[in-house]
Amino acid sequence: MERKIKIGNFEAACLLLNMISSKIILDFPRTVAEDAGTAGWLMTLLVSVAVFAIFSVISKLYKKFSGQDILDVGESAFGTVGKILAGILFLVQFLLIIPVILRGFAEDIKVISLASTPVSLVMLLFCAGMVVGAYLGLETLVRIHALLVPLLAAAFTVISIMNIPNFEFSRLAPWLGRGAETILKEGVKNLSIYSELIALFFIMPFLHKKSDFAGIGRYSLFFSALFLVFSSMCYTLVYPYPATTEYFLPMYQMTRAIRLGRFFTRIESAFIVIWAFSAFLYLSSGLYFLTWIFQKTFALQKRKPLILPFTILVFTGGIIPENLYSTLQIEMELYRSVSWIITFLLPLLLLGIATIRSRNKKRKEAAE
C-alpha cells in the first residue's frame, strides 16, 4: 500500500526544488523579462516573498490536520463532494502543465541535439521514462531526486559563475523595468511560478515526521527562490533588454556564451544530459501525482493501471499544439492565470472551512 511509503525531509525538499526550478531550463528567464523587462528578477523576488507569506498561513492552518493530504482536508471541509471537486481541480491543474512541460522539453532536445527527429518521437521517449518512473513509485522517485538535484544545482551554479565575465550591471537599468504597476499586476499572475508546491500537500502523509511539513516547505521555497531570482538576474546581466525576450532556451544560450580559452567553447553539451534527467524526473513525478490524485479522489483500489491511460492523455495534450510557441501560450495565458488560485487559494479555503467545522464539532461534543 502507498501509505507504507516513508519520505525523508531532504528527499521531499529535492522533489519540490526540482519541480519548481526545472522551469529555469525551459523559458522562465525569458518570460519574466517579457512581463517586467529589466526588473524580471525583482518581480520574481517579490513574488517569492508573497508566496512565502501565503505558505506560512497555510502551514499554520495545516498543523491541525497533521498526517492528512489536501484531499482529506477537502473531505473534512465539504464531505465526499468536497474531496471529489478538489481532486478534479488538482487533476485539471496537472493535466494543463504536464503536456506543456513534455512538449517544451521535447522541443528543446530536438533543437539542441536531435534536429532531424520528429518531435512526436522525442515525446514518446520522454513518455517511456515517465511510465517507468511512475510505475516505480514515489519512494524511488524521491530517492533519485535526492541523488540528482545536487548535481543540477551544481550545474546551474557553474553556468552562472562561468558567465561572470559576460556580466554588465548597467543592463539592470531601469531598476523598475516596465514600471511598478506592471510588476505588481504581472506579479499576481506569476504566483503560479510556485504552483508545483502543491505536491507537498499530497506527500504530507508519507513524511517521516509530519511536523516537518512547514520546514520542508520553507526550505524548498527558499532555495527555489534563490535559483529563480538568480537565474533571471544573471540572464539580464548577460543579455540586454529587449534581446532577453527573444532568445530561445535562455539557460542554453547562457551556456553557449561561456568561453574557456580557445579549445573549450561548446561546453553546453556537458549539461544536456543533466537537463534531460531533470525533465524525466519532473514528468515522472507529475504522472505519479496524476494517477495518485485520481485514485484517491475516486477511492480506487489500484494506481498502476491508470499510468498508461494518463500517459496517453498527456502525450495527446502535448502533441495537439501546432508548435512550441502555441504550447507556451497555453502556459502563459491559461495555466498561469488559474494555477495560483488552485495552489494557494483553494487550500486556504479548504483549510479554513475544515478548521471552522472542526471547532464547531468540538463545541457540540463539549456541550453534550
Residue 345 lies in a domain: yes
Buried b (16+ CB within 10 A) or exposed e, 18-48: bbbbbbbbbbbbbbbbbbbbbbbbbbbbbbb
Tally the C-alpha atoms within 13 A of residue 8's C-alpha that lie toward its C-beta. Answer: 9
Indicate if the pLDDT at residue 1 is higher than 60: no
pLDDT at site 323 = 79
What is the band of 290 on the pLDDT scale with cuts at 50, 70, 90? very high
Q: Please compute the mean of the pLDDT values over residues 193-210 and round it to a whole number.
A: 91
- Of 322 and 38, the structure prediction assigns the larger pLDDT to 38
The answer to whether residue 368 is domain-embedded is no
Mean residue pLDDT across the chain: 89
Map residue 298 onto helix, strand or coil.
coil
Which region, left, alpha or beta, applies to residue 299 given φ > 0 means left and ψ of -120 to 50 means alpha? Answer: left
CA-CA distance, 319 to 315, in Å (whole number)?
Answer: 6
Cell numbers that stand for 215 in this block: 520546514
The Cα-based distances of 306 to 2, 4, 137, 164 in angstroms read 15, 20, 13, 47
The per-residue pLDDT for 266 is 64
Interacting residues of 140 by C-beta distance below 8 A, sequence separation 6+: 133
Residue 242 backbone dihedrals phi, psi, to 5 degrees: -95, 10
**Is the pLDDT higher at 269 or at 345?**
345
Domain that holds residue 129: 10-360
pLDDT at 49: 97
Three cell numbers written together for 159: 553556468
Q: How confident is the model at residue 92 (pLDDT cuts 50, 70, 90)?
A: very high
Q: Residue 58: inside a domain, yes or no?
A: yes
Q: Is residue 242 in a domain?
A: yes
The winner for highest mean pLDDT among 41-45, 173-177, 239-243, 268-272 is 41-45
Residue 264 forms beta bridges with which residues?
260
Polymer length of the chain = 368
The predicted model gives 259-278 an average pLDDT of 71
Assign residue 257 the CATH number of its domain: 1.20.1740.10
- Domain membership of residue 326 (yes or no) is yes
pLDDT in tens, 72-91: 999 999 999 999 999 999 99
Q: Give the pLDDT score at 221.
A: 95
Q: Which tens digit of pLDDT belongs to each residue from 292-348?
A: 999 999 999 999 999 999 999 999 999 988 877 788 788 878 888 899 999 999 999
pLDDT band at 248 (very low <50, low <70, confident <90, very high): confident
Bridge-partner residues for 143, per DSSP?
A: none
CA 6 and chain centroid, separation: 22
- Which stretch of 18-32, 54-68, 268-282 has the lowest confidence by average pLDDT? 268-282
Are the CB atoms for 342 and 93 separated by under 8 Å? yes
Give the residue from 292, 315, 294, 312 showing the smallest Cα distance to 134. Answer: 292
> Is residue 59 assigned to a domain?
yes
- Calculate ∠ Cα 46-342-206, nearest 5°: 95
Question: 255 versus 199: which is more confidently predicted?
Answer: 199
Q: Please indicate, yes or no, if residue 2 is contained in any of the structural domains.
A: no
pLDDT at 364: 76
Q: How many structural domains is the chain composed of?
A: 1
* Percent over 90 (pLDDT), the chain: 62
Q: Does 3 have pLDDT greater than 60?
A: no
Strand partners, 7: 207
Distances (CA, A) of 85 to 60, 75, 95, 294, 359: 24, 10, 15, 11, 23
